[in-house]
Amino acid sequence: MQQVIVIGGGLGGLSAAHTAMEQGCKVVVIDKNAFFGGNSTKATSGINGALTKSQRALKIDDSPEIFAEDTMRGGASRPDLVRVLCGESAPAVDWIVDKFGIDLSLVSRLGGHSMPRTHRGKERFPGMTITYGLMEKLEEIAESSDRARILLKTKATKLLTDREGNVCGCECVSSDGKVFQEHGPVVIATGGFGADFGADSLLAKHRPDLAHLPTTNGDHCTGDGLKMTMAVGGDMVDLEWVQVHPTGLIHPDEPDAKVKFLAAEALRGVGGLLIDIEGNRFCNELGRRDYVTGMMWKNKGIVLGNTAGFFLCLNSLASKEIAWHCKHYKGRGIMKSFDNMAAFAKHYNVPLANIDKTFKEYNEIAEKQKKDPDNGPYEAYGGGKSYDVWGKKFFTNGPMDVNDAFHVAIVTPVIHYCMGGMRINDDAESLRANGEVVKGLYSAGEAAGGIHGSNRLGGNSLLDCVVFGRVSGRSAARYLTEANIKYIEAAKSGTAAAAKL
């Protein structure tokens, strides 16, 4: 074998490819789309990291242990995988900054996190910035050397195995219908199945109750890698855990569109408030995604077409902190700006008096929390006490004033992320149902299951891609090197003719 095969050109696959090359191996990256990026380029909030250079520069007192506690509290159930995710988070973020020159100097706090640890740059969506950085570097390498090959518009259709059941390559179909094979250990980085609405749909099989919801996933997210893995005996885990994100953006001209853009969780992280059609808050905006979604389903929103939505409101300070996002959303027609909340209230027929009351109460709560953070009457999410009936304890970019300028979007729950996927160990190796390793097969990104448990915290998806992309790249490179050493030794002893590779 002469190469590591990576199926999927999102951030997980690109991280695996670069890492395998760092280990001295050649790589081929296969993607069925006409371009790399996958869902990774859509990630809008940032990438988490504990003890990063950016955090230290901002004097944020975080640690991998605190991060791991938050992740476990957020829904994860595999301490071994969480240790890798959180323990390797700072090296992963710093690798992106140092090796690819990506700006990740801004750090914010998302829902479920007890510390600000979600990194992004000053412009563009962080998923786009990070993924493009790795993509452009891979393209440079492929154009100038034989260390990397890129196969676009090429669909991997099945995995190849040797006589002992080890994965040794894949079969592919090119855009012109040509069937061919690539040989080497394989990293599956094909994403989830959040747009798998076909005849053999994993979504319909494991979560038929969600099939009616819109999705943020591109039409390439059909579980291809998972289905190929199952065909060679690889086990799956947590396929029933599909994350519904509370803030898919409703376009007023196409409210019932099946595919929706995501409103970055960072919009709430910088101080955005959620209000219903009556002008009232109804949840802790920084709670877990499944919690916020559940609270939306219990409350009354504005109905556009057949879709109910809620108002996500950012005052001038919050809007300024996340200005690029607001400009982008406005350009797409999925966010509006208002000179004041009176104009907003008139436009949507929401009682201004209720909004004013909501804002004043919110400001009072924030002030009490600032003066006496430990003695509020309510339990706070993540521990401690709060003066907010919904348990919010972090308040940013206040005060809220109806006379201030606002950016407002209408948001609704959407299928967003599949926590389930390939069962792996902490070396990103594929596992069978009995716990045995499927040798030569690895996973990274959303295709890997068990990392996030029943609910994923915001900012952990890009991190998962980079951390387990790097882990799978190292593991695949190690396996390839060991296999080649064995082949050379066998050749020296005269038994190479019988070698299975």
Those residues with Cβ within 8 angstroms of residue 159's Cβ, 6 or more apart along the chain or in another chain: 167, 169, 170, 171, 186, 228, 229, 231, 232, 441
Q: What is the DSSP letter of 262?
A: B
Angle between helices 64-73 and 89-100 (to 10 degrees): 110
Strands 167-173 and 155-161: antiparallel
Q: Which of 268, 281, 289, 474 is catalytic?
A: 268
Q: Which of 18, 109, 220, 245 is catalytic?
A: 245
428: left (phi over 0), alpha (psi -120 to 50) or beta: left
Residue 348, amino acid: Y
Q: What are the two backbone dihedrals, phi and then psi, of residue 436, each rounded to the nearest 5 degrees? A: -70, 150
Cα separation of 423 and 435, whole Å? 9
The closest alpha carbon to 422, from 238, 243, 160, 241, belongs to 238
Residue 245 annotated in active site: yes
Q: What are the two backbone dihedrals, phi and then psi, of residue 44, each rounded to the nearest 5 degrees? A: -110, -15
Those residues with Cβ within 8 angstroms of residue 94's Cβ, 6 or more apart along the chain or in another chain: 49, 52, 53
The closest alpha carbon to 357, from 346, 345, 370, 374, belongs to 345
Q: What is the DSSP letter of 491?
A: H
Q: What are the two backbone dihedrals, phi and then psi, of residue 201, each rounded to the nearest 5 degrees? A: -60, 125
Cα separation of 57 and 223, whole Å? 40
Return the ∠ at Cα 464 (arms to 29 and 428), rounded to 5°. 65
Cα separation of 275 and 312, whole Å? 7
Between the CA atoms of 244, 380, 404 and 282, what dihedral angle is there, to the nearest 10 degrees? Answer: 50
Residue 268 annotated in active site: yes
User: In sequence order, which ranges of 207-265 are alpha helices (DSSP H)?
Assistant: 224-231
Q: Copy the structure tokens of residue 155.
A: 């669909």
DSSP string for 93-150: HHHHHHHH-----EEE--TT-SS--EEE-SSS-HHHHHHHHHHHHHHHHHHH-SSEEE
Distance from the Cα of residue 213 to its chain's centroid: 19
Name the burial class of residue 330, with classes exposed (0-12), middle (13-18) and buried (19+) by CB atoms within 10 angstroms of its CB: middle
Q: Copy the structure tokens of residue 451.
A: 């990392």
- Positions annotated as catalytic residues are 245, 268
